Amino acid sequence: MRDRLIALRVLCLTILAAAWPALADDAQPVVLFDFGPGFDVGGVATNDAKATVTSAGALRIDLGHKEPWPGVTLKAPGGKWDLSACEYVSLDVANRSAQPLTVYCRVDNPGADGTNHCVTDQVLLEPGTSQTLTVRVFPVPWKLDKSLDLIGMRGNPVHAGPLDTANVTQLVIFVTRPAQDPVIQIDNIRAGGRIQILDTSTFLPFIDEFGQYVHKDWPGKIHSVAAMLLQSQQEQEDLKTHTRPQSWNKYGGWIEGPRLKATGYFRVQKHKGKWWLVDPTGRLFWSHGIDCINDGDPTPITDRLPYFRALPEQASPLAQFYGQGTWAPHGYYSNHTPYRTYDFGRANLLHKYGEEFETAFADVTHRRLESWGVNTIANWSAEQVYLLRLTPYVGTIHFEARKLEGSEGYWGKFYDVFDPSFQENLRKRLESERDKTTGDPWCIGYFVHNELAWGDDTSLAVAALVSPADQPAKNILIDDLEAKYETIENLNEVWGTQYASWQAMVESRQAPDPAKAREDLQEFYTKTAETYFSTIRKEVKRVAPNQLYLGCRFAWVNDRATRAAAKFCDVVSYNRYEYGVEGLRLPDELDMPLMIGEFHFGALDRGLFHTGLRRTESQQDRADKYKSYVQSALRNPGIVGTHWFQ
C-alpha cells in the first residue's frame, strides 16, 4: 500500500523530469581528494575524531562527543585550490550511525573562523543512508566582470561572493554537539559547475518580456507568444494522456483501500498504527498538496526599470497588469513603500489563454493537479480555483488584533491574546467564511496564522512584562502573580527584584532575571499559548464544526507552545524546510496527526538567482529530493500530508 501511495504522490515528478531534462553544459568535475591507493591518511587533521581509509577507497570518520564540533580538516595539496571557474564543492556522505545526523562541510579561505572567509552547507542523513552534500563556493552560475549594484533580490549575479574562490585552502567536515559517537564516511570530493563571466556593460536589461532571465537558455524557456501557445497545446495533449490516478475516488481518497466511517466531511483517524486523513466517503486520504495556487505574483519595478527589457506601454492591453505594492517584510522594499509592480504571471496567462484567462487557468489547474497526483489545494491559494470544488482544499485564515508590544519576531510581533480584539477580530474573519467554506465537504480545514514568533518558553511572558502599562497580557500576568505571592515583597524575594509595589511593576518596562523568575514566566507562557489555541479552536468550531483546525504552521517553536497546540488542534502543522521529516515527533511522545504546511527545493539551472531555503544541483536533483522528502513523510506514522511551497 505504501508503494502505491508513493507512486501516486510523486507522479508529478515523472512529468516534470521529462519536461525539464538536466542540462549538460557543466564542466567536468575536478577531483579534490581521492582516498584510493596512495592516499596519506596521516595528513588528515582531526578534532575529536579518528580517520581511516576503507577497503572501498572511502574515508571513514569515527567521531567523538567531547568537543562541540568533532570532525576532520582536509588541507589543499600544494596549499590552495583555484576554484574560480567552479560553482560548488560536493562530496558523498554516508551515515554509519544508528541515529539521524546532520553533517556539515565548510570551504575555507585563509583566516576562516566559521563566520568569515568561509561558506558552509549541511545535509541531514537518516541512519544507514547516504547523500551528496553540496556547498556553493560562488552564489550563482554567473559572475559580472565589474561590480553592479542590483537591488530587491535575495540573489543576483555579482562581481565577488563571500569566498575568494581562487584561494581555497581547506575543507572542514564536522558535526555539531553529537550526543553519542557517530560514524560517517565520505568519498568523491569534487568541484563542479561552470561560472559564466558576464560583461557588466551589457548586462542590463536582464529580464525579458515574459519575466525570464535573458542571459541563459534552458529547455522550456519561452521565446515568443507563438511558442507559448504551442506549449499550451502540448500541455492539453499531455493532460489527456496523463489523467487522474484510477485508484482515486472523486476526493483523491484511496478507493481500493479500507472503508472507514463516512461523516460527509474530512476527519482524522489512526488506522493500523498510522495517522490518516479520512475523506467524506470514509476512504483513507493522504494530503499531497501545493501552496500558492494563484494566477499571478507581482514583481516590484520601482527603482529597477533598467532591469526589464520590454515593459508594456500604458496603451497596451498588458498595462492592466501594472499595480502597487504596499508591504514588504524585509529587504529593499520594506523601506520603499508604496512601490510600483508588474505582474508577469497574469500577463503570460493573457497571452496563453486570452481575455478569459482567469477561468481557463482555474480549469486547467485542477486537471494539472490530478495529472500530477496532487489531491490538495494548499495554503495561500485563490478562491476562484478552490471554490470550483473539484479538488479538496485548505482554508487560510488571517486576521489582525492588538499586538504584544514587547514581543518580536521575523514576521512581526505576537498577538496579545488577552485583548478583546483577538477573539472579536477572529470571529469577524471566520464569519466571512460562513456558507462559503464552512460546511463544505471539499474543505479539509483551516490553517490560522503562519510562522508566529513563539520564541523560547519564557519569551511571551517576558514580552508582557516589558510592554506598556495598558497591555492586557501584562496586567493579567501581574494579577496572577499577586494572587500567588500576595505581597510584592514575597515576589521580590523569589525574583531578586526591587519593585516598590504591584503598581510599580505595572509601570516598569524592565525584564526580570529569567533564571530566578523562570517558573512563573513559563507558567504564564503556557497560559498564553493555551489561550491562543483554545480561543481559535472555539471560534473555528462555532462557525465550522465539521472542518478541522489545522494549527498555525510552526516554523520556530518550543515544546510548551507545541504542547498547547496538541491540546487544542485537530492536526499540528509545521513548515519544515529540511531534506526529510521521518524523525519529526511531538514532545513527550504525544500522539497526534501532523501536517507539513511548507517545504521546497530550488536549483539555479533555469535562470534563477536563488534556490530558496534548500538547495539542489539541478531540476533532476530537485525531483529526487522531492520524492525522498515525501517518502520520508509517508514513513512517519504521524504525518498526514505534505504541501509544497512555491
Query: For 377-405, what is each residue's pLDDT tens digit?
Result: 999 999 999 999 999 999 999 999 999 99
In a domain, 250, yes or no: no
Mean pLDDT of 638-643: 98
Domain holding 192: CATH number? 2.60.120.430
Domain holding 555: CATH number? 3.20.20.80
What's the pLDDT score for residue 18? 33
Show the beta-strand stretches assigned E in 67-163: 71-75, 88-95, 101-108, 118-125, 130-136, 142-144
Answer yes or no: is pLDDT of 345 > 80. yes
- Band the pLDDT of 126: cuts 50, 70, 90: confident
CA torsion, ordered 613, 219, 297, 598, to nearest 10 deg: -30
Q: Which triple of cell numbers denotes residue 403?
A: 499586538
Q: At what angle do helices 2-9 and 619-635 cross, to 10 degrees?
A: 140
Q: Global pTM?
A: 0.90
Angstrom distance (rounded) from CA 323 to CA 141? 32
Determine if the peptide bond prior to 100 is cis (ω within 30°).
no
What's the pLDDT score for residue 617? 87
- Over residues 418-452, the pLDDT tens digits come to 999 999 999 999 999 999 999 999 999 999 999 99
Question: What's the chain's average pLDDT?
Answer: 94
- Over residues 45-68, the pLDDT tens digits come to 999 999 999 999 999 999 999 999
Q: Who contacts 344 (Cβ-Cβ below 8 Å, separation ≥6)?
A: 210, 211, 296, 299, 321
Boundary (domain end) residue, out of 575, 601, 626: 575
Boundary (domain end) residue, out of 198, 217, 236: 198
> What amino acid occupies position 397?
I
What's the pLDDT score for residue 5? 38
Answer yes or no: is pLDDT of 217 > 60. yes
In a domain, 422, yes or no: yes
Angstrom distance (rounded) from CA 589 to CA 587? 5
What's the pLDDT score for residue 27? 64
- Over residues 163-178, the pLDDT tens digits come to 999 999 999 999 999 9
Q: Is 18 or 172 the better-scoring residue by pLDDT?
A: 172
Answer yes or no: is pLDDT of 569 > 90. yes
Q: Which triple of cell numbers denotes residue 419?
A: 485583548
- Do 281 and 253 form a contact (C-beta atoms < 8 A)? yes
DSSP assignment of 355-384 equals TTHHHHHHHHHHHHHHHHT--EE-TT--HH
CA–CA distance from 612 to each of 154, 292, 537, 556 (Å)?
9, 15, 33, 18
- Do 298 and 341 form a contact (C-beta atoms < 8 A)? yes
In a domain, 624, yes or no: no
Boundary (domain end) residue, out of 516, 543, 575: 575
Angle value at C-alpha 401, between 397 and 406, nearest 5 degrees: 120
- Over residues 494-504, the pLDDT tens digits come to 999 999 999 99
What's the pLDDT score for residue 309? 97
Answer yes or no: is pLDDT of 90 > 70. yes
Angstrom distance (rounded) from CA 320 to CA 312? 10
- Beta pairing class for 170-174 and 196-198: unpaired
DSSP assignment of 167-231 equals -B-EEEEE-SS-SS--EEEEEEEEEE--PEEE-GGGT---B-TTS-BSS---TT---SHHHHHHH
Mean pLDDT of 76-95: 96
In a domain, 13, yes or no: no
Q: Who contacts 385 (Cβ-Cβ below 8 Å, separation ≥6)?
A: 293, 294, 361, 362, 365, 366, 377
In a domain, 253, yes or no: no
Q: By residue range, what is the domain housing residue 57?
A: 26-198
* Length reported for the chain: 646
What's the pLDDT score for residue 333? 96
Q: Who contacts 33 (Cβ-Cβ below 8 Å, separation ≥6)?
A: 39, 59, 74, 189
Sign of CA dihedral 580, 586, 591, 594: negative
Answer yes or no: is pLDDT of 3 > 60. no
Answer yes or no: is pLDDT of 153 > 70. yes
Q: Burial level of 487, CB count in 10 A (0-12/13-18/19+)?
A: exposed
Task: Tally the domains of the chain.
Answer: 2
In a domain, 465, yes or no: yes
Answer yes or no: is pLDDT of 19 > 90. no
In a domain, 183, yes or no: yes
In a domain, 504, yes or no: yes
Answer yes or no: is pLDDT of 346 > 80. yes
- Over residues 296-309, the pLDDT tens digits come to 899 999 999 999 99
**Burial code of 302-312, b = ≥16 C-beta within 10 A, e = fewer?**
bebeebbeebe
Answer yes or no: is pLDDT of 21 > 80. no
Q: Which triple of cell numbers denotes residue 504?
A: 510599580
Answer yes or no: is pLDDT of 556 > 80. yes
